[in-house]
Amino acid sequence: MKEEIQRYIKQALDGDQKAYECLLLRYKNGIYNLIFQMIKNHEETEDLVQETFIKAFNSLQSYNNSYAFSTWLYKIAYNHSIDAIRKKKLKTLPLDRPIKLKEGEVHHQIKDNALSPESSYIFSERQALIKKTIDELPDRYKRAIVLRHQEDKSYDEISKILNIPLGTVKARIFRAREMLKKRLHEE
């Protein structure tokens, strides 16, 4: 069966419309059922099924045949359905016009989330204090905490980089955090 699907994909990539049709017929019901479970509306599901196959066929050249075609296709259907759900829930209001209510009009006020100069100064001072405190840690703790929180490495990656057991990595990071908390609390 996998060889047959791969043959249809190759033929479809070569422009064979019958191959597209064979792929569509083979997976249409499954895709429909997946999307309907999410959408719960027959007309919308039909539209999304068509759109899914259009998306899939337009990006067929990106399919990696070391994975099951069905998995790739179902992922496209799932993601496309999630996008459709998000778009449906997105209620937008124009920013340049007031909202009309029975009692009158309400004008939009958009909150400014920018930091005040004072807040910005306090934030930069905290960052400098944290950096200074990390720099004062013993090297073995400092290296582990920097790899984890500044370079965003996983515990496994840190273990390989430092050539130490995973448990030691966890212990060093835990100990480094405790030392940082204590020193920062004292400051």
Tens of pLDDT, residue by residue over 32-68, are 999 999 888 999 999 999 999 999 999 999 998 888 8
pLDDT tens digit string along 119-137?
Answer: 788 888 888 888 898 899 9
Task: Please give the pLDDT value at position 172.
Answer: 92
Compute the average pLDDT of residues 135-145.
91
Question: Half-sphere exposure of 130 toward its Cβ, with a 13 Å CA cutoff?
Answer: 12
Q: What percent of the chain has pLDDT over 70?
A: 89
- Give me the number of domains the chain comprises: 2
If asked whether residues 82 and 134 sit together in one domain, one would say no
Task: Give the domain range for residue 127.
Answer: 117-186
Compute the average pLDDT of residues 128-149.
90
Q: How many residues are listed for the chain in this entry?
A: 187
Longest Cα–Cα distance in the chain: 74
If asked whether residues 125 and 168 sit together in one domain, one would say yes
If asked whether residues 19 and 64 sit together in one domain, one would say yes
pLDDT of 70 > 80? The answer is yes
If asked whether residues 13 and 79 sit together in one domain, one would say yes
Comparing CA positions, the residue from 129, 134, 136 lying closest to residue 150 is 134
If asked whether residues 64 and 6 sit together in one domain, one would say yes
Residue with tokens 């191959």: 19
